[in-house]
Structure 1
């Protein structure tokens, strides 16, 4: 069994290259949770999936809390909603840095932070990657699978599916703002099915879309 670190927030001490926040605000929603996890949930940036005030991914916003609720359903999350206890699950963003209200990441800032996200993802070395929303899903499929050119980035169709990656299984999650009534149930059912399987054998093993 791997034992990366017991630190919960920013376990590898990443220092992002820029800080555009106020003096009393978090500089980033750093990677958070169980650094020895098999499941890695990957969001976009704090302004959309939460963490501008708490510094914790998937808190504060409706979209972030919807993802957190699904994690609670399968036993990955417990405790306070603003600082949950994550077990066998790690959460991070492709753009970890917080931005002033009303600002969104630029292509350049995504590019600046890519190496930090990649380093953390490879250090966690989870079996299952769960990108949330179009931006994160596009990045994960491009960088960690050979499937991006074969797939339409249709999040409705990709939601809660299984896609073979380069050493990972990828399970895309549609942005909760676009969920219909059955989407949380589909995600929870998929995660429960993976947990009931020998998912640790999925690295390098072909899986299916749908």
Structure 2
């Protein structure tokens, strides 16, 4: 059963378990968008995909803006870049907490946030998971599919492919800052193909598309 909430930012009221930011800075970039969405985009952390200033995932950075632009073209995103309106789309991060500039999360910090990420993913209960970049893709394939052992973590090869998950379809997205010629068109084409299909039938069944 889908949840019923119209809250756009942090719809489930998550509270980060730690804070490494200086006084006055944003503690975390929470999930944002349509909590009843069929499409769920998953990034790494605010230092990579943005939001430390805006509080909105996939803003501010080159990779963040690149992802938002793809979903704007395919009809999921309207409105201003820094506070977009999302339809049938939810955005969040594997690691929601903000860190001082230039710092990367430790494995322990990723592990500390795993239960929060998993709870939100299952509450959204989307049909299509779209992890962005190597870290998010590795995590999603490991935890939500039986496919991880079948693939080298080669984002150029996995980009825009439609993969079977445990009740989900997983469509990895290469970091936009690393896109080669044609990568943007590949993910736009894959999204358009999914939208034109009966993608809701992938939920809860072992369907391999593509």
TM bucket normalised to smaller: over 0.9
Q: What is the CA-CA distance between 1:2 and the residue it aligns to?
A: 3.0
Q: What residue is the counterpart of 1:205 in the other structure?
A: 206
Query: Offset at 1:102?
Result: 1.2
User: 2:19 touches 2:27 (CA, 8 Å); kept in 1?
Assistant: yes
What is the CA-CA distance between 1:22 and the residue it aligns to?
Answer: 2.6
Structure-1 residue corresponding to 2:164: 164
Runs of 4+ with deviation above 6 angstroms: none
Deviation per CA, 1:133-154, whole angstroms, max 9, x where unpaired? 0000000000000000111111
Q: Matches of 1:24 and 1:105 in 2, distance apart?
A: 20
State the partner residue of 2:11: 11
Q: Does 1:131 align with 2:131?
A: yes
Between the aligned partners of 2:141 and 2:4, the Cα distance in structure 1 is 25
Q: State the TM-score, normalized to the length of structure 1.
A: 0.97
SS of 2:91's equivalent? Answer: strand
> Is 2:105 aligned against 1:105?
yes
Write the deviation string for residues 13-52 of structure 1: whole angstroms up to 9, x where unpaired.
Answer: 0011001123322111100000000000000000001011
> In 2, Cα distance between the equivalents of 1:3 and 1:106?
32
Aligned pairs, number? 209
Q: Quick check: 2:3–2:124 contact (8 Å CA) kept in 1?
A: no
Question: In structure 2, how many angstroms separate the alpha carbons of the residues matched to 1:155 and 1:187?
Answer: 12
Q: Map 1:31-180; keep pairs closer than 5 Å.
A: 31-180=31-180
2 CA distance for matches of 1:104 and 1:2?
A: 34
Structure 2: tracts of 5 or more residues without a match: none
Shift of 1:4: 3.0
Alpha-carbon separation, structure 2, partners of 1:75 and 1:15:
31
TM-score (norm. length: structure 2):
0.97
Structure 1 residues without counterparts, runs of 5 or longer: none
Q: Is the 8 A contact 2:166 2:206 kept in 1?
A: no
Q: Which moved more, 1:6-15 or 1:199-208?
A: 199-208
Contact 1:58-1:65 within 8 A present in 2 as well: yes
Aligned-residue CA RMSD in angstroms? 1.1
